[in-house]
Amino acid sequence: MGTNTRHNWTYKEVEKIFNQPFNDLLFQAQGIHREHFNPNKIQISTLLSIKTGACPEDCKYCPQSAHYQTDIEKEKLVAVQSVLDAAKRAKEIGSTRFCMGAAWRNPLKKDMPYVLEMVRSVKSLGMETCMTLGRLDEEQAEQLAEAGLDYYNHNLDTSPEFYGQIITTRTYEDRLQTISKVRYAGIKVCCGGILGMGETQKDRINLLIQLANLPEHPESVPINMLVKVKGTPLEKIEDLDPFEFIRTVAVARILMPESHVRLSAGRENMSEEMQAMAFFAGANSIFYGEKLLTTPNPQSEKDLILMKRLGIRPEKKNDYEDEVHQAVIAESLIIATQKKDCC
């Protein structure tokens, strides 16, 4: 754990960081980023929808909700072999983590054997695995851990105060409990939120505080820009100021220095300059591929061209672990030297 890793942030502290001059904010975020990561490497994940549509939740941003009339067609749980084939393609284009998402309130008992086999199959390729299946109970979390699941995604979405205006079918506490069960089972946590849903800056700050003050920081923190989909209640919401989005990324990096901050949904509508600024602000993870569950995403070829122009390379599977290990060794040497000098 780094010397600047905390879990007791206050609103006044974070507000001051958030609203400092833009250049100062990015300078602070980039400095912290360089302490913990190679600034020119990005972790790449691919996301596949393994069960689409007809979700009973009423999340106002989601085209898969059964509460809204969108163009998304209901699909059954896909076959394990189809998932494996998609994971092989993802690995071929450079992804190190394969994420699988199902439009469920929670997985049913009859679906778990297939879900667990998906995890084992993708793990056999040497890739990291991630799933987002909705609410989990203790037994399901333990089963996923035993199957070898590396990450579980369960976003908080927004602040506790604004949450009720976006979702009414699941409480904020429900989400926190699932995160706790996943962590207890030994699975790494992927947890972030969505910006541009009509929330205030105060809500964005409180979302980051919720994430940073968890007992352990999420290993991955996806920062999503709302993708406005026709038929959802948020289809005509006003666009978020791009600088406000970048500020949120930078503050996420400062508050959670050892987490991968993922530039997630909404990249299709971001300019290359905006994405580059997000990387400078501390984002060091992206989703790779043409679709995120049901919404568009930049094609992998475009991402490769942009990364080449920026001098950024995909992070290999063991890069992060090696860098953390080296940082621990360096810190131990400093402590040992200080003890020797004082004694």
Hey, which residues does 221 pair with through a beta bridge? Answer: 261
Active site (annotated) includes residue 262: yes
Residue 342 vs residues 3, 106, 338: alpha-carbon distances, Å: 21, 56, 6
Name 241's bridge partners.
none
Question: Pairing between strand 193-195 and 188-190?
Answer: unpaired
The catalytically annotated residue of 97, 130, 204, 267 is: 130
Catalytic residue among 59, 97, 175, 253: 59
- Token digits of residue 258: 């050892």
State the Cα–Cα distance between residues 222 and 260, nearest whole angstrom.
8
> Is 55 a catalytic site residue?
yes
State the DSSP string of 221-254. Answer: EEEEEP---TTSTTTTPPPPPHHHHHHHHHHHHH
At residue 157, the 3 state secondary structure works out as strand
Nearest to 19 by CA among 186, 187, 169, 243: 243
Residue 266: which region, alpha, beta or left (left: phi > 0; alpha: psi -120 to 50)? left
Q: Residue 268 gets which letter from DSSP?
A: G
Burial of 93 (0-12, 13-18, 19+ CB in 10 A): middle
190 is catalytic: yes
C-alpha atoms less than 13 angstroms from C-alpha of 55 in its C-beta half-sphere: 31
Catalytic residue among 97, 99, 175, 253: 99
Find the catalytic residue in 170, 183, 247, 262.
262
**62 has catalytic annotation:** yes
59 is catalytic: yes
Active site residue 342: no
What residues pair up with 128 in beta bridges, in sequence order? 97
Catalytic choice (183, 190, 191, 204) = 190
Q: Across-strand partners of 194?
A: 224
**Residue 48: beta bridge partners?**
100
Quote the CA–CA distance of 336 and 334 in Å, as a whole number: 5
Reply yes or no on whether 99 is catalytic. yes
**HSE of 175, CA atoms in CB hemisphere, 13 A:** 25
Question: Any idea which residues carry the catalytic annotation?
Answer: 55, 59, 62, 99, 130, 190, 262
